[in-house]
Structure 1
Amino acid sequence: MPAIIRANPPKIWFLRHGQTVWNAEHRVQGQMESDLTELGQSQAAAQAAIIAPILETHRPPVLVSPLRRAQQTAEIALGGMPITTDPRLAEAQAGVFQGQTLSEIAARYPQIRAENPHALDLFCAAPEGEGFEAFYARIANLLSALETPTVLVGHGLWGQVLRGIICGLTRAEMAALPNEQGCVYELENGTERVLRDAQTR
């Protein structure tokens, strides 16, 4: 396991994609594709209301996961602002679990499911998956490359590790983090602030 370190990159605004069809079905996506639901589109619209003044004031660069749900979210939330697609922002590759529901995983891999109640640990324990060490290293690599305050649009587990690295959390603490959609996580100087649209509170 990699050493958990606290990183202090430039200020980050992190957007998790909105709800997808597979989210609603409790089906593991990983690096497979699933489109936003109507609720997911509404969540991205809520992010648009939050991020608009930030974009206008700071004009930050935007990096987005190549996976379609993140691209769809960015299109709605950022109003057509220019983006750069970065493969390092893709969600954890969850091996044989991808495409299966959580109940199917529990039936087929009862020991793995029982030992890993949190999604981050479950994805990273998947046979033929990416694993935590490689996932963590990929995220840390992107963080080390940031030179200016940046908007990142990606995925739930990716965001948990990102937030954990910046806030100096252990792996167990990362895995237990809440994982909201429709908000913006503002990360700076080792702290996290969750920005929410006033109309959705």
Structure 2
Amino acid sequence: MANYPKIWFLRHGQTEWNRAYRLQGQLDSPLTEQGIADAHRQAAIIGPVLAQKPDIYVSPLGRTRQTAQIALAGTACHYDDRLMEIHAGDWQGRLREDILAESGDWAQQRPSALAIYEKAVGGEGLAAFQARIRSFLDDLTGPTVVVAHGLWGQVMRAQVRGLDMKTAGHLSNDQGCVYVLENGYETLLDAPQ
């Protein structure tokens, strides 16, 4: 387990495609009303952290930009392509239920979202995704706020905590909260709904 600086991780708020169980990958859909409320809940949590002047990095995709604008109250940030969600190849934009319906016996195993993206035809694949996330983590020099994506967060959190990738796909994947990672441990900060 590597020794990374303290990280506050925010997953973007719920999107139209999250609600429909449509694979987004590096495509985009807008935040729902719930997604906007998720970002406001994060703002209530992260405000005192921002006063500490941490580094702030945001995925350049629209749903994370929209979340960051609300949750970080317009605080200046850096956009980093390494924070984009895993690319799901030919499956981007498709409904999860349609993909599983075509997958025969594999669907009976009830794969995690990360396992589905890993298997995506023409997708980025887990090894490349993990390498991209490690590259980002290795460049951190101090306490950092990160606004990114669900699967990105699962893999990053597993990496920081020293967990294997099979476990990563089963970590919580909540919106509207902040995951705090420090010294190999994770704490979930939540605000009232």
Whether the TM-score (by the shorter chain) exceeds 0.5 is yes
Instruction: Determine if the alignment matches structure 1 residue 165 to structure 2 residue 159.
Output: yes
Instruction: Show the counterpart of 1:99.
Output: 93
**Could you tell me how far apart the structure 2 residues matched to 1:110 and 1:116 are?**
11
| Alignment deviations for residues 82-119 of structure 1 (CA, whole Å, 9 cap, x no partner) | 01110000000011111111111012333554456100
**Could you tell me how far apart the structure 2 residues matched to 1:154 and 1:111 are?**
32
Name the count of aligned residue pairs. 193
Give the residue type in structure 2 aligned to 1:90.
Answer: M
Instruction: Show the counterpart of 2:61.
Output: 67
Instruction: Show the counterpart of 1:3.
Output: none
Q: Percent identity, please.
A: 50
**Could you tell me how far apart the structure 2 residues matched to 1:23 and 1:40 are?**
10
CA contact (8 A) 1:113 1:122 kept: no
Please provide the CA RMSD for this pair.
1.1
**Could you tell me how far apart the structure 1 residues matched to 2:145 and 2:12 are?**
13
**Could you tell me how far apart the structure 1 residues matched to 2:150 and 2:57 are?**
15
**Could you tell me how far apart the structure 2 residues matched to 1:135 and 1:61 are?**
22
Structure 2 length as normaliser, TM-score? 0.97
Structure 1 length as normaliser, TM-score? 0.93
Among candidates 76, 89, 104, match of residue 82 of structure 1: 76
Give the residue type in structure 1 aligned to 2:82.
Answer: R
Instruction: Show the counterpart of 2:176.
Output: 182
| Alignment deviations for residues 158-195 of structure 1 (CA, whole Å, 9 cap, x no partner) | 00011101111111111111100000000000000000
**Could you tell me how far apart the structure 2 residues matched to 1:131 and 1:89 are?**
15
Instruction: Show the counterpart of 1:127.
Output: 121
Instruction: Show the counterpart of 2:23.
Output: 28
CA contact (8 A) 1:66 1:86 kept: yes
Gaps of at least 5 residues in structure 1 are: 1-5
Gaps of at least 5 residues in structure 2 are: none
Superposition deviation, residue 73 in structure 1: 0.2
